[in-house]
Structure 1
């Protein structure tokens, strides 16, 4: 069995931390027993006597087993340096259900480079280089090394925020079986799995073959099964605030004066409360004459059963905005939300190593991963966007009389069609990775390696419980024929066909006031499959060794070259290509490829050694020149130094320039259209507080702007309107660049054994960020300019009344981002009670996170906003002896606001509370070959904070929760059994 003090180790000046029990060592720890020296991430140099000038976190094998994690993302996401990425708790809504990605320092997963044994891994999201880290076999992992800072000069593009390097077992002898299971305290979300590892030597131990197989399955967890998420939260106007506004207007105050007063008083403008949209109903809802009506199973009409107060809220916002409180018959958003998606995964890995008599070393590593997952959201719904005409075949006399009373020729309707089932996608993914390597030596101390690798990730994505948009619309528009039978209008009138020229003779008329029939369901429902694939080919050579000896030690050098080709193909279903699926969404195939040719050099130069105020002073230099077939030439570099003035203190600093090349999706995505509820900057809600320039521009655009009865400027446009987003890639993109500074101090007092304090400052400045204009930025910027003849208005298409119907977006090198922070690490361990007690604390303070959503505007500060708290920390305690180990990990997440302007005077509550989570683990050595691990996460069953409408950082918009940052599942238990034989 591995001893626990091998879990986390490091060289001089490199901090090593783990998520539940950390041990830290530097080169000055000469007297520490069982210290294993490792080649740290961030260098290809053969000699690692000189420490990395950038901080490195190391997580070891024993810790991974003790944590109960079957997906290593579960462990990595608890590190303060990680921002929320994809996981089974955050991937239900983004088209990548069941994937796990890492977002180091909040720069985006595409700017974190994931390596396996120092080599690239095929991207798991077609068209991108982002790796699904859950496709890497957990039971094979020896350790995980995490480097903060730009490393493109060493490892190539995408190492902008840093590198995650996963080191696996490649030369194992023996057999090992691990069986694991887990469940929540509410008896759901079951997890179970096993992995088996077997290795043997052959041909007089010259060769080794290592085989690995694993299977894991975890069930979904639904929001409706948690008391803290089975509610709908909304921000509503505070009645006290509205009364004050009305009073001020009555006194003759202007809109600006009223805003200045009410934004600085002690009365919150808005309050959070549980509210349910009356449109969220399994039966049809209409709104006539200030009253909401629904219909019985026989089609008869009755008022909607409202919430406990019996009141309607926001009736002025139209059908989609009308709400009631809890206690009514409406469905909550939580009815259809998942806190965790189901995932089923099988992996096979085979590694063969052989040492030839000539000194050459050959290895072949092959891996295959099969994953199945699914996402589920709302059933097909109507929110008033497809109104019924007065002559609809199923408008009965009582409803018709009401329409006539209010002179209505069309009737907006709303309903969740639960009979159709929840819409979603079933995913079947395959990952294949093969690496062949040949290594050798020359000139005594020089080593070289050549490897070639091939990787392919493919996915079949089947959309389920969807519908044909044209059939859906045709079935809704029904009339009576000459015999009095209900028929689709398009059946008898070709001009009414939703798509001209299509045959609707088999159309089934839809009575929206009664449950859907099986015949109708068979006619409108649609299931269709799209396919995706991503292929990576790499050929790499490097050589490392010492040039010559100097007064301070040998100069180490590494040189090499690499060729990489990335290709991707996305093939939408025929329904998507033809634009006949839900919302008439149109997608076309995306086919693209690019290659990159790199040459690189790295050297470590010892400047001083064992002299006054310089026990060690080293200079590390690296440079890489890369030529991208599409983006052109780019050079990355790094300059760093490590200075140890005395044995107790080590200082390090590095300055680097890194790059991220545009991926295939960003370059080659063909023009596509998608339905979207488009935000309207001239709407009645927005224009109330708009500037005079915005009001004047809205009038010029044809919007009916007027003053209401209480003196507010308003319009007759609703806040959101149905529309279309048109997006496309751009083959003229340049690379993103990042200038990064890291500076740190490591204090290891010789007077106190095994104590280490680390302080690391990091600063990342990104330029030329590849992005689309944000839709809200485009529509707002159009009317905020002095003239409507601007680049933003040119991207919009409007109706004569000023309503935006289309937004055209194209990928560009647009924006900047500046992020900086401070990491404070404290490690201490000491012997007691026949074992070892260890304490580890990691604190991250996010000093700066300024983002730019519009290149014409200044950067905006976002520290403390949702998903990016100012403070995050972990405190880990453990005790271990030869028989057992117990540990606790406490995680802190600081308070956060939804938006910058969400102050106490604007909304109550205006921020989430700070949260503490505690996990417990225990391990017992049954024998020398058997070990039992048990544990509980979120021991105190802390409920997740909720913030209405939150969506950033993995948050669920409908629930206002963030499964990437907070624990949304509640208390969970796990156990595993390890047998080595």
Structure 2
């Protein structure tokens, strides 16, 4: 069904309701999907429209909460996204990813929030929105890169006059998560209506909700292997799990040890995470235009946005091979005896892989401060003979500063674990530099405040993304008439430059920080030069079974400074109105998505995706193929089929960019029917089919898929699909667990 529409004009003679009632004299309605304009239901591609009234009646302070209910969009990053999150809201048409959905404001690119060049919907001033057009299907020939799944265009009010003040406060049924929003809209005409200036101010504050506040989210859950869910968690526990020779044990608070059970001892990390991310945002927007003459209208606009968000994760899980002091006074007599018995070289230390949740340090908190601004300067006008021009320059820039607390220095943990006794018989660090304090990890709650302070490391990183666009076009919507209507054509050229950087502090870039967001920096950019054209040609009209037949076509040539180089996109479609009540439509589009700054230039970084090591499962004991694969990849026969990784549901993975990436290309087909029966004034029904196929799809293979390729799965009897992927899944020599799975970006397929 089409989106709800505002009241429309009814023809008193026929009682028919024209689609998007006819424009007044001199007024041009431009609906997204074509630079030549047109009415919503007379386009070859499906278009849904959300009106300003829909936003007003929703009472929602954020744009995301209105658009997320549309069936064309699938869930993406929202205010409920904590890991990753950032407090942004993104649009994902047809489930192909937010980077494949082009978001425009008044047919122009808007400010991105990060180096993936994705727009945060909540930086768009909701109080200025006239309507939102959602176009499904590739639109790269018309608008350029990124429009693979479609376009979302926010059309803003142009001539607001008066003052409007709004304020609302929302609270959840449970009585928490309150959100306040207030905004002020001021506008006025001048010079007898030849000019207008409008300013808009908006403030939003949203309280956070922890997952511990809800029954359904306070417990981490995992697949039980039979289609259900059971309580799960991380193998990095507060009491320290340690593995020597594949045998898993845990320390008790008194320094003694006991057997570790993944079913009962796994750490529940869920309660500390946010279910609703706290946010504070200030937004200011201004726009103006002035008609110097029919041939010249100058216009300008600008936005300033400051967005502050917190994300929170459970305390840092420390995993790695360490040297344990076999004679430490932190240990019970039984634990000392165990370690001393394993000290085969007599140096007083035993090498062991440990899994410790450093709860004494506190939760990991990321405080993100995003500041963005955008300016547009342009001119347009009528130069005679039906020809119009529009030229503008825009510049946008976003800078993000992220401060993290609760992070831990790996080097200091290793330093604080290697202990000895001083002349007074006191346990001290073997290396006392930097004020080292011995670290008692042998039991939950045993780390002293001084030791926690020693291993804690505050970190900060910053990132910027900037975009410059210079665009010019000339169009004629009344070129000539073939007898069925006026032919329209547009020619244009565009230059766009994207530049981004990510600058972690030394602790992050060196890899010394244990936890999240560790990784190398990013720096780079690219430019693209483009020319394009679009034409709409009415061929037939007022014939039997052909009330109107119109065809359209578009072509764009782009030259990228990256490996993509020369890129061609095109589209063609037709609308066939059999009678006033029934129309058929179809469109073919070749669209592209060029790799983003992040895709091309991001450095290596750590991630902990959900994945299961198949060699820990019971089937690894009974399936000959899987058992052989586990042995050949370094898992000891004695631990196959056991939870030697502590029952962990996450696998440490390394991600990164790739400057050799080529552009994605897609072929999109849409076909549909439009019904507007005259006997039902105001009613319209549309049904559309779409098919989108993407080649050179930019993605990581995924840790789960790497594992599946290396070890096979139940569907093929655990025969490896491609054993070469096993090299991307290195294992720890002591615990045999998969660590640092290599998962960098690639043009993966279709």
State the secondary structure of the residue aligned to 2:252: strand
Alignment of 1:407-806 (within 5 A): 416-491=357-432, 504=433, 506-512=435-441, 513=443, 514-545=445-476, 546-582=478-514, 587-630=519-562, 631-672=564-605, 680-685=613-618, 687-688=620-621, 690=623, 692-705=624-637, 714=641, 718=645, 725-784=653-712, 791-798=724-731, 804-806=738-740
State the secondary structure of the residue aligned to 2:298: strand
Q: Distance in 2 between matches of 1:616 and 1:642?
A: 8
Report the counterpart of residue 26 of structure 2 in structure 1: none
Shift of 1:664: 1.2
State the secondary structure of the residue aligned to 1:621: strand
Report the counterpart of residue 103 of structure 2 in structure 1: 114
Q: Distance in 1 between matches of 2:497 and 2:184?
A: 34
Q: Distance in 2 between matches of 1:584 and 1:34?
A: 50
Contact 1:556–1:605 (CA under 8 A) maintained in structure 2? yes
Contact 2:219–2:231 (CA under 8 A) maintained in structure 1? yes
1:128 aligns with 2:86: no
Contact 1:53–1:653 (CA under 8 A) maintained in structure 2? yes
State the secondary structure of the residue aligned to 2:283: strand
Gaps (5+ residues) in structure 2?
24-28, 345-349, 713-717
Alignment of 1:180-329 (within 5 A): 180-236=168-224, 269=226, 272-274=229-231, 280-281=237-238, 294-295=252-253, 299=254, 321-323=262-264
Contact 2:490–2:535 (CA under 8 A) maintained in structure 1? yes
Shift of 1:679: 5.2
Q: Distance in 1 between matches of 2:267 and 2:120?
A: 35
Q: Distance in 1 between matches of 2:217 and 2:605?
A: 35
Alignment of 1:75-90 (within 5 A): 75-90=66-81
Shift of 1:71: 0.9
Q: Distance in 2 between matches of 1:291 and 1:724?
A: 21
State the secondary structure of the residue aligned to 2:480: strand
Q: Distance in 2 between matches of 1:689 and 1:680?
A: 16
CA shift digits 1:894-943 (9 cap, x unpaired) = xxxxxxxxxxxxxxxxxxxxxxxxxxxxxxxxxxxxxxxxxxxxxxxxxx
**Distance change >3 Å, CA 97–CA 621, structure 1 → 2:** same
1:64 aligns with 2:64: no
Q: Distance in 2 between matches of 1:664 and 1:167?
A: 27
Shift of 1:575: 1.1
Q: Distance in 2 between matches of 1:34 and 1:626?
A: 34
Contact 1:392–1:477 (CA under 8 A) maintained in structure 2? no
Q: Distance in 1 between matches of 2:695 and 2:300?
A: 40
State the secondary structure of the residue aligned to 1:153: helix
Q: Distance in 2 between matches of 1:783 and 1:805?
A: 16
Q: Distance in 2 between matches of 1:152 and 1:185?
A: 43
Q: Distance in 1 between matches of 2:610 and 2:480?
A: 66
**Distance change >3 Å, CA 93–CA 806, structure 1 → 2:** closer
Q: TM-score, normalised by structure 2?
A: 0.88
Q: Distance in 1 between matches of 2:9 and 2:149?
A: 24
Contact 1:277–1:322 (CA under 8 A) maintained in structure 2? no
Q: Distance in 2 between matches of 1:728 and 1:280?
A: 29
Comparing 720-729 and 775-784, the one that deviates more: 720-729
Contact 1:465–1:526 (CA under 8 A) maintained in structure 2? yes
Q: Distance in 2 between matches of 1:607 and 1:682?
A: 65
Q: 2:83 aligns with which of 55, 79, 93?
A: 93
Comparing 412-421 and 438-447, the one that deviates more: 412-421
Shift of 1:700: 3.5
CA shift digits 1:537-596 (9 cap, x unpaired) = 001111121221111111111111111111111111121122222269863321111111
Contact 1:722–1:805 (CA under 8 A) maintained in structure 2? no
Comparing 695-704 and 422-431, the one that deviates more: 695-704
State the secondary structure of the residue aligned to 1:778: helix
Q: Distance in 2 between matches of 1:32 and 1:779?
A: 57
Report the counterpart of residue 715 of structure 2 in structure 1: none
Report the counterpart of residue 3 of structure 2 in structure 1: 17
Contact 1:371–1:428 (CA under 8 A) maintained in structure 2? yes
Q: Distance in 2 between matches of 1:34 and 1:779?
A: 53
Contact 2:222–2:649 (CA under 8 A) maintained in structure 1? no
**Distance change >3 Å, CA 179–CA 584, structure 1 → 2:** closer
Q: Distance in 1 between matches of 2:504 and 2:471?
A: 34
Q: Distance in 2 between matches of 1:285 and 1:655?
A: 58
Contact 2:576–2:583 (CA under 8 A) maintained in structure 1? yes
Contact 1:123–1:457 (CA under 8 A) maintained in structure 2? yes
Report the counterpart of residue 158 of structure 2 in structure 1: 170
Q: Distance in 1 between matches of 2:722 and 2:216?
A: 49
Shift of 1:209: 1.2
Q: Distance in 2 between matches of 1:606 and 1:32?
A: 18
Shift of 1:728: 3.5
Q: Distance in 2 between matches of 1:730 and 1:278?
A: 32
Comparing 746-755 and 447-456, the one that deviates more: 746-755
Report the counterpart of residue 104 of structure 1 in structure 2: 93
Report the counterpart of residue 347 of structure 2 in structure 1: none
Q: Distance in 2 between matches of 1:678 and 1:486?
A: 40
Contact 2:255–2:330 (CA under 8 A) maintained in structure 1? no
Higher strand fraction (1 or 2) = 1
Alignment RMSD (CA, Å): 3.4
Q: How many residues align?
A: 725
Q: Distance in 2 between matches of 1:716 and 1:508?
A: 33
Q: Distance in 2 between matches of 1:747 and 1:50?
A: 9
Contact 1:389–1:410 (CA under 8 A) maintained in structure 2? no
Q: Distance in 2 between matches of 1:29 and 1:202?
A: 39
Shift of 1:683: 3.8
Q: Distance in 1 between matches of 2:588 and 2:721?
A: 44
Q: Distance in 2 between matches of 1:273 and 1:143?
A: 45
**Distance change >3 Å, CA 700–CA 481, structure 1 → 2:** same
Alignment of 1:933-952 (within 5 A): none
Shift of 1:104: 0.5
Contact 2:99–2:116 (CA under 8 A) maintained in structure 1? yes
**Distance change >3 Å, CA 603–CA 698, structure 1 → 2:** same
Gaps (5+ residues) in structure 1?
1-14, 238-268, 304-314, 325-329, 492-503, 817-981
**Distance change >3 Å, CA 361–CA 428, structure 1 → 2:** same
Contact 1:636–1:658 (CA under 8 A) maintained in structure 2? yes
Q: 1:141 aligns with which of 129, 141, 146?
A: 129
Shift of 1:437: 1.2
Report the counterpart of residue 941 of structure 1 in structure 2: none
Q: Distance in 1 between matches of 2:437 and 2:407?
A: 17
